[in-house]
Structures are given as C-alpha cells and as structure tokens.
Chain A
Amino acid sequence: MSKKKRLRKFFPFEPYESLALEEFLGEMALHGWMIECISGNFLTFYEIEPVRLRFAVDLFAKASVFDTKPAEETLDYRQYCKKAGWKFACDNGKVQVFYTDQEDTVPIQTDDRLKMKGIHKMLLLPKLILWIFIPLLTINLIHDIVVKVFFFTITNYFMITTVFMELYLLWLVSIDFIAFLLWEISAIRNIKNGRSLQYLSYRQVKRKNNLRIGLLLIPLILMIIIFTSSLGEDSEINVIYQVVGFLIVTCMSVFGYRLIRKNRYSRRANRMMAILFIVFATYCLIVFTTNTILNIYSNKSDEVITYEDTDGNKVSYYMEHDKVPLSLDDLGYTIATYRDSSACISKTFLAQSYDYGDATFEKLDGESIGISYTIVKSRFSWILEYYIKNKWLESSNDLEFKKMDIPQWEAKEVYRQTKGYMGGERVIVVYSDKVIVFESDMELTDEQIQIVKSKLKL
C-alpha cells in the first residue's frame, strides 16, 4: 500500500475570515491537494486528483477544541449538513470544514444576522481580553524598560530584542483589532442595508498574514546578532540559557497540544490540562527571562577568588583586578586586607557601557575606601544627552548636581553631585563621544585627575 503524499501549509485565519479559507481550500483542491486536518494555524493536505470543489467553513458554537470525540450536538449538526449535500472534511474546535462537488448546494448559513451573532459569541470575549490586556501590559513594560532602565536596555541586545518582541506583539494585536473593526463596521452597514455579509478574500488575508509575519524578521535578526556576537563572551551563557528556556517552553506547548489532540481524555480533563500547561509554560517563561536579566546584572560577580595572604589573611577577588583599567594602586592607595574589584562590560551597536569598581578594606564589616566609574560611549550624541538627563541630572531620585568649572578634566562639561551622595564625591564628566561618571570615597586631587585621564585615555 503506497503512502499518501502530504503537504503542510501555514495559514492563520480568524472566524470572520472563513471565506478566505474556503477559497484557499478550493484552490488547493484544484491543484490536487485535499484538506486532511487543521492543527492551530497549520493545515495538512493529502494528494488527490485535481478537482473543482466548493468548501464551506462554518463555526459551530457547541463544539470545543477540548472535545475528546465529537459531541452529540456536533454530530447532529453534521447530519443536517450532510442532508443538505455537504460532506464533512475536518474540524478544529468550533471550526467545521465541509465540501461539495455540486454548484447548487444551499450554503450552510443562510441568515447573516445569526452568523454574525455566532462570530461575536465565539470571538468577542477572548479577543477583548487580548485587545485590552496585551496592549496595557506591553506598553507598561516598554515604558519601564525604555524609560526607567533606558541605558541598561540600549547596551544589551537581549533587552533590545525584548523591546522589539513587545513591539511586535503590539503590532500583531493592532492588526488584529483594526482588521476586526473594519469587518465589523462593514458587516453592520451591510446588514442594515439588507446586503449580505462581506468577508475578506484569500488574497486579502494572505496580505494581512504577510504583514503579521514580515515584522517578525526584526526580532529574529536581532536574536541571531545576539547569539553570534555573544559567542565566546561572558554573556554567551545568558543567550544559551534563554534559547534553552525558549526551546523547553516550545516543546512543552507542542507536547501539551498533542496530548490534548490525542483525544484520550474527557473535555473537562483536556481543559484542565490546557490550563495547567499555560500556567506552567508562563511560569517557565518568566523564570527564564528573569534569570537571564539577573545574569546580565550579576556579571560583575561571576568570578570569586578567595585565598590567604602571607599574613594569614583572607583575600577575596570578585574579578581579576587587572581587568580594571584604573585601580586604587594607580591612585596611590595601599591595598588593605580585603579587596573587591569588578568589571562589567555591555555593548551594542547603539551604545557601550563599561562599569568598573575597586575597593579595599581592613575588616569585612569595616570601612572601605574605593572608586567606581562608568564609561558610557556612543556615536549618537542624543543617547549621551538622554543618559545624562534621564539617569542623573533629571532623575527622580532626589539627586542634585551643580555644573562646575574644573579645567583639569579638559571636558565639555563637568557636574558634581551636591545632594544625595554620602561621603566622597560623584562627578559626571562629559566629552563629545563619551561620558564618565566617577565616584570615589575621597576627593580627587589635580594629580589624581591627570592619572585618571591618562589611564582611561580621556
């Protein structure tokens, strides 16, 4: 027995786009492919002799995607369709697909008002949730990561990708909402004027789907950039972590979907399983994403070295301090019993951030002396200006800065913090292509400023 040739096609459609699916299935039959089943947005066809068929895609409200086998009502309904000359092809939840080779078979739905009511019943509640909650959550998240942690975002490909993913989600929801709104307005107008409902054609839906998928390329390309640019770097682990997390969630979703579609359990059990899968997958997604962000944040303490020096004292390094371009030794300070040095570099094509710190102290719980500095570079001057204003000068953290005239820095502008910083000093030194935020537990002397400038190549 020869095995049937099969073909899979991706074709997302909405309940009010049934005409498009009917046209598509008709075209496929004409090319020798008959619909076998629908799984989510994928249609599976098997090879047949090319034939002209009429398809009807109807929504049957009492059917459910969680049905183990067709409910009695569904079978009754199909019986009516059969009597009218429609042969059952396949179903996917409420979507029921029929076909006929007769030209004069009465359409399955002959009352537009009733059909519209059915579409509303099936669509409105889940769509309203989607149209309200997703934009609210997404706009909130985008606001948070663009405004509150702007600089962290633009120096991390992971964060940039997250923003694009969120924007993409917003784009999908907007297309969905606008398409439905346009259809609804035209449907109400047609019914009012006694005309029949107009549905989007196959070509129109195809164009809409291209719009949906087209923009997905941006986050995908970014993800590829992240992956290739992070290979061999500290952040590689973040990407791998994220990719593994994404794969696990995807596999779980496919496994859960298949388990439900195997029709082994009751409608109730299937519904419970679906809820559990959704909750668990969401939990995993949140955990993986949070851990990735935490990993990015905690790069500074990746490496911890502890040893005893010649006097029997314990020395801890959080990072090899030779990675720090300017250390306490350079400024003439003697390193005490303990030392804590850190370096964290994050860069994208938009901006680069170099965070360094070096501190030393006699006792673990005693007073320390230290410096920390952030060098921010960008070829875009607006990014530097936004960084200075958003993060420091106009931040809501009750910080106050005063513009100073310190010619030793040879900079465009120098600001010194006058309020909100305990001990020592914090200065922001602005150059044309970079900004240095320098914090120290002591006031820098002119000589030390020269050392800083020479070490940091300012």
Chain B
Amino acid sequence: MPRAKFQTLTEPMYYILLSLTESCCGVDIMDRVSELSNGRVSVGPGTLYALLGRFEKDQIIKEIDRDGRKRTYQLTDEGKKLLKEEYLRLVTLMEEGKEIMEGLE
C-alpha cells in the first residue's frame, strides 16, 4: 500500500512525482524538479536515485523505456492516485488556512 508507506510526501518526493506525470528520463528529473519549483527545490542525484528505486519498488512509477543507461519513467495509476491525494491534501491545508491567514494581513 503506497499511501500507507508515504503518509505525506516530502517536497522532493512531491516534485519528483510531479515531474513524472509525463514520461521523463531519470537523469533529467533533477532539472525538471528545479524548473517546476522555480529553482526553490533541488534534488541531489544520490537522493533521486534512491527515491526512484523506492517508487519503482512500490509501483508508484514504472520504467517505460531503456536506451543504454538512459531509463525513462512515468507515473503508474497508483502513483497518479497518490499524487492527486497529496495535491488535494495540500489544497485543503491551503484553503483551511486561507481565511485565517488573510485575516492576519
């Protein structure tokens, strides 16, 4: 059960999964994460490699192509569900805090 294992995704995990909503080569994910987060989040290559391994093992992502050492990954249906749940969780957090936070200004 991926959801049980990844109760809440860390920022790098969230952005890696966001990057893989479209197929993407493993080594390019680092750039993609940086782009998506406007350079705010960066994932180290060691961390990325380890996380991809864990995601693949838990069937959150799958390898869809291999060209020599280049591996292309994409989210699985399970992964999409997990990402969506996390997105909704973040939206809920934001909405629940919105009124109070706007009142603070």
Binding site for B on A (CB under 8 A): 58, 60, 75-77, 79-81, 83-84, 86, 106-111, 114-115, 118
Contacts of A84 in B (CB 8 A): 30, 44-45
Contacts of B48 in A (CB 8 A): 80
Q: How far is the CB of A162 from chain B (nearest CB, A)?
A: 44
16 residue pairs from A and B, CB less than 8 Å apart: A58-B46, A76-B71, A79-B69, A80-B26, A80-B48, A83-B27, A86-B45, A108-B44, A109-B44, A109-B47, A110-B44, A110-B47, A111-B10, A111-B50, A115-B47, A118-B50
Contact B45 A81 (CB under 8 A): yes
Question: CA separation between A81 and B46, bound complex, in Å?
Answer: 7
B90 within 8 Å of A by Cβ? no
Contact A80 B27 (CB under 8 A): yes
Contact A111 B12 (CB under 8 A): yes
Asked whether A79 and B42 contact (CB < 8 A) given A109-B47, A111-B10, A114-B50, the answer is no
Asked whether A76 and B47 contact (CB < 8 A) given A83-B27, A110-B42, the answer is no
Contact A76 B69 (CB under 8 A): yes
Contact B45 A83 (CB under 8 A): yes
Binding site for A on B (CB under 8 A): 10, 12, 26-28, 30, 42-51, 69, 71
Beta-carbon nearest neighbor of A118 in chain B: B50
Question: CA separation between A319 and B45, bound complex, in Å?
Answer: 75
Question: CA separation between A80 and B69, bound complex, in Å?
Answer: 10
Contacts of A107 in B (CB 8 A): 44
Question: CA separation between A212 and B66, bound complex, in Å?
Answer: 49
Contact B50 A110 (CB under 8 A): no
Contacts of A111 in B (CB 8 A): 10, 12, 44, 47, 50-51
Q: How far is the CB of A327 from chain B (nearest CB, A)?
A: 78
Question: CA separation between A80 and B10, bound complex, in Å?
Answer: 20
Beta-carbon nearest neighbor of A76 in chain B: B69
Beta-carbon nearest neighbor of B48 in chain A: A80
Contacts of A106 in B (CB 8 A): 30, 42-45
Contacts of A118 in B (CB 8 A): 50
Q: How far is the CB of B46 from chain A (nearest CB, A)?
A: 4
Question: CA separation between A76 and B52, bound complex, in Å?
Answer: 12
Contacts of B10 in A (CB 8 A): 111
B26, B28, B46, B69 interface centre (most CB from chain A within 10 Å): B46
Contacts of A110 in B (CB 8 A): 12, 42-44, 47
Q: How far is the CB of A54 from chain B (nearest CB, A)?
A: 13
Question: CA separation between A111 and B43, bound complex, in Å?
Answer: 8
Question: CA separation between A24 and B49, bound complex, in Å?
Answer: 27
Beta-carbon nearest neighbor of A106 in chain B: B42
